[in-house]
């Protein structure tokens, strides 16, 4: 048996993908996928195998281009991701889930109207017409968000002004004519009242600052798709908090193309306030250790 086909079969089994799912993702006709994995086609065309390989191992050029933890020649810095195949699975990166192929549409075709038609117990985000499942956050994830919001909120109360801090779940639509995106950032700061005081019940317009806390199921989405989306739509500052690596990446869009890197022992300035308001991650880290037994050296 062709070694590559054997590897693809093993990966297919590992992910639990059906032939139909592989066909939908790769664009290869279902009959061809069935023949390859059924063994009747032993020497398929190279281009066909390449499409299937990209469907099963999707950490490709786009991910390497935007994820600073990817090495230029391919491969991951293993110190940042304990299980690369888990962190960059197709579900987490592209949001593929056959359960959301509804309304007679496929992933990439959904709109805000479709989002609001979903059952109340289904929690997803809409990015470029694709539904991404949102798993329940862990206690560590939640405490990072709530403690960060608490520090920022206290500072904003003292400083006055229109800026407010919000936490998920809260829908963000970048513009009324943008019907392909509806996101729920973990934490956001909005400094224009008209964006949060409106009849829609959601944030209408780009937040000034956004923070996302990584989890195994959101790692690829937050570092790639959301990074690009926030940058294009006018978010000024984006924090990516990685509890596993105990690090925070801070992007200041429009000021620099790189990011500043902080640890869980640092006090981090919020750039939209010119550093006059900051967040002590050292204080958050102490609470994580005391209350949840969180150890950044695990």
Residues 6+ apart with CB under 8 A from 156: 163, 164, 165, 277
Residues 6+ apart with CB under 8 A from 22: 12, 28, 33, 37, 52, 55, 56
| Structural domain boundaries in the chain | 1-57, 139-292
The H or E element spanning position 48 is helix 46-56
Please give the structure tokens belonging to residue 51: 């499409």
In a 10 Å sphere around its CB, with 0-12 CB exposed, 13-18 middle and 19+ buried, how is residue 296 labelled? middle
Query: What is the rounded (10 degree) CA torsion for 53, 214, 66, 115?
Result: 80
Q: Which residues pair with 127 in a beta bridge?
A: 130
| 1-57: in CATH 3.90.1280 | no
Please give the structure tokens belonging to residue 91: 């579900």
> What's the pLDDT score for residue 70?
35
User: Where does 139-292 sit in CATH, by number?
Assistant: 3.90.1570.10
Q: Which residues pair with 279 in a beta bridge?
A: 268
> What's the pLDDT score for residue 2?
54
Q: Which residues pair with 249 in a beta bridge?
A: 240, 261
Residues 6+ apart with CB under 8 A from 49: 4, 5, 8, 36
> What's the pLDDT score for residue 214?
92
> What's the pLDDT score for residue 110?
86
Asked if residues 211 and 186 have their Cβ atoms less than 8 Å apart, the reply is yes
What are residue 203's phi and psi, to 5 degrees?
A: -80, 125
What are residue 161's phi and psi, to 5 degrees?
A: 95, -175
Instruction: Report residues of the chain scoring pLDDT below 50.
Output: 1, 59-102, 298
What is the model's pTM?
0.67
What are residue 289's phi and psi, to 5 degrees?
A: -70, -45
CA distance 263 to 270: 15
What is residue 109's three-state secondary structure?
A: coil
């Amino acid at each position: 048996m062709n070694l590559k086909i054997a590897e693809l079969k093993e990966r297919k089994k590992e992910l639990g993908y059906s032939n139909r799912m592989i066909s939908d993702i790769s664009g290869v006709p279902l009959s061809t996928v069935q023949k390859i994995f059924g063994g009747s086609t032993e020497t398929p065309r190279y281009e066909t195998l390449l499409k299937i390989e990209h469907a099963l191992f999707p950490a490709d050029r786009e991910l390497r281009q935007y994820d600073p933890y990817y090495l230029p020649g391919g491969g991951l810095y293993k110190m940042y991701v304990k299980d690369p195949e888990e962190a960059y699975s197709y579900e987490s990166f592209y949001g593929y889930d056959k359960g959301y192929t509804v309304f007679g549409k496929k992933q990439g075709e959904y709109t805000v109207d479709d989002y609001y038609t979903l059952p109340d117990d289904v929690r997803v985000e809409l990015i470029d017409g694709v539904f991404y499942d949102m798993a329940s956050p862990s206690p560590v994830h939640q405490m990072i968000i709530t403690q960060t919001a608490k520090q920022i909120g206290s500072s904003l109360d003292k400083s006055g002004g229109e800026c407010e801090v919000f936490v998920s779940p809260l829908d963000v639509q970048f513009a009324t004519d943008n019907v392909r995106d509806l996101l729920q950032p973990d934490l956001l700061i909005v400094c224009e009242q008209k964006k949060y005081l409106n009849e829609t019940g959601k944030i209408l317009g780009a937040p000034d600052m956004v923070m996302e806390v990584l989890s195994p199921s959101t790692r690829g989405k937050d570092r790639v798709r959301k990074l690009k989306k926030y940058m294009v739509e006018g978010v000024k500052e984006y924090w990516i908090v990685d509890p596993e690596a105990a690090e925070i990446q801070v992007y200041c869009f429009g000021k620099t193309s790189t990011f500043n890197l902080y640890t869980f022992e640092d006090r981090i300035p919020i750039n939209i306030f010119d550093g006059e308001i900051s967040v002590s991650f050292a204080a958050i880290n102490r609470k994580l250790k005391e209350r949840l037994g969180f150890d950044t050296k695990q």
